[in-house]
Amino acid sequence: MHAAVTSCKTPSEEPSERRAKALVALAGKLQTYGYGFTTVTPLTHAYNNERQGNRWAEDLRDVFGWSRPFLRELVAPDDFDLMLQAGILRPWAEGWRSSIRWSSLGDLLLSHSAYPTSSAESVFFGPDTYRFVNAVQDWLNNHQPALVRAADVGCGSGAGAIALARSQPRCEVVAVDINPQALHMTRINAQVAAVGNVIPKLGSLLDDVEGRLDLIIANPPYMMDAQERAYRHGGGELGAGLSIQIVEQALGKLAKGGTLLLYTGVAMVRGTDPFRAQLQQLLHSSDCHWQYQELDPDVFSEELRRPEYASVERIAAILLTLTLN
């Protein structure tokens, strides 16, 4: 039997508000404990959890990083109560599991879905997130822009939007995602980071974002996923569909001199880059200049075992930097 836990609630608060406050408070507790966790690829995560002795959590990194089940006595009563209030506790055998993870990105602490991310509404965070945010930060450091309006397309956990908003505190940063759970995580993470200029917005890509933008950043799904899960499926040719749509929309949304930073993955076929070929055809008559950089030549190699990737030699992480003239 799982022991019942009661908590004091403010009657005027909506349940969703109480859950959000509890989650922000829990993040604050983790920060005071010096909690930190670097999220790895799903395959590396599986390898770690399969090791002998790793079946049950032994500390909070195991609970909120490695998504391992834990026994009630492992977590302090106040922390367990916050987990209950936040609605993130799930019964597991004779113990419990957390339905979210907390990951470190610099001094940021960001919530996202627990491992494994199998649900269609999962909010993904991993090595791509680190590369994406680092690429955005490098561009900001090198260009020192004075941005007024920007957008993070497919914001997920909000990592990119929050990093951008902290670097540009006077900029309105619209964080767009088609997944309501992603926007919930973005709101929580923005509160934890004490960032007030992130505006979560439910929508498909840039369809519902009005006005011109000085900067668009995007780290869209780029896998071929038979289940077509929103956080993973890129659609189109070899998973490049969403990336191409973002480029097409950016050409009509960017202000003069505005920039698109698109981080994505590309399925390479027999030594050729089909995504770059599509870009060249799309952009040959556009009034812009662009750079194309391969950041990592080989990511998510485990995907190559799947039949959808039978013709693919490797998956590369690339950064497209496109600026309107």
Tell me the per-residue pLDDT of 175-215, one tens digit each, with 9 for 90 and over. 999 999 999 999 999 999 999 999 999 999 999 999 999 99
pLDDT of residue 6 exceeding 60 = no
Can you tell me the distance from the alpha carbon of 290 to that of 274, in angstroms, rounded to the nearest whole number? 17
Can you tell me the distance from the alpha carbon of 320 to that of 42, in angstroms, rounded to the nearest whole number? 25
Tell me the per-residue pLDDT of 253-311, one tens digit each, with 9 for 90 and over. 999 999 999 999 999 999 999 999 999 999 999 999 999 999 999 999 999 999 999 99
- pTM of the predicted model as reported, rounded to 2 decimal places: 0.93
Can you tell me the distance from the alpha carbon of 311 to that of 321, in angstroms, rounded to the nearest whole number? 28
pLDDT attached to residue 4: 41
pLDDT of residue 32 exceeding 50 = yes
Which part of the chain has CATH 3.40.50.150? 127-324
Confidence of residue 12 (pLDDT cuts 50, 70, 90): low
Mean pLDDT in residue range 93-118? 96
pLDDT of residue 7 exceeding 90 = no
**Average predicted confidence (pLDDT) for the chain:** 93
CATH architecture of 127-324: 3-Layer(aba) Sandwich (3.40)
Confidence of residue 36 (pLDDT cuts 50, 70, 90): very high
pLDDT attached to residue 2: 43
Can you tell me the distance from the alpha carbon of 87 to that of 68, in angstroms, rounded to the nearest whole number? 17
pLDDT attached to residue 226: 79
pLDDT of residue 25 exceeding 70 = yes
How many other CB atoms are there within 10 angstroms of residue 219's CB atom?
A: 28
Bridge pairing between strands 89-92 and 95-98: antiparallel
pLDDT of residue 3 exceeding 50 = no
Mean pLDDT in residue range 224-239? 82
Tell me the per-residue pLDDT of 143-171, one tens digit each, with 9 for 90 and over. 999 999 999 999 999 999 999 999 999 99
